[in-house]
Amino acid sequence: MIHTITIETQNQDDLTLFRVLAERLGLRSHETHDEDPTSESDTLRQLNSVNWHSDETGDELNTMLRNARSFGGRDVQL
């Protein structure tokens, strides 16, 4: 009877540890490597490709956001 364990990791050190453990135990192992569709470098590239156009400066937008916050009391009974 064959028993199968599937272990998924993105950490290379963990993968090496499991590979060495399987070899020490004399177990047959099979590896597959799937690329993460949205790696960190892809995410940063997408973020850097965003274009924002506005008549307000960054400081003006920051002030508008801060002034739009509401910290007043609420008429809610708990």
**Between residues 45 and 38, which one has the greater pLDDT?**
45
The string of DSSP codes covering the chain is ---------S-HHHHHHHHHHHHHTT----------TT-HHHHHHHHHT-----SS-HHHHHHHHHHH----------
pLDDT of 37 strictly over 70: no
Q: How many CA atoms lie within 13 A of 75 on its CB side?
A: 0
Residue 14 belongs to a domain:
yes
Domain that holds residue 17: 1-32
Residue 60 belongs to a domain:
no
Name the domain count of the chain: 1
Give me the mean pLDDT over the 47-66 stretch. 86
Residue 42 belongs to a domain:
no
What CA–CA distance (Å, rounded) separates 32 from 7?
Answer: 11
Write down the pTM of the prediction: 0.40
pLDDT of 34 strictly over 90: no
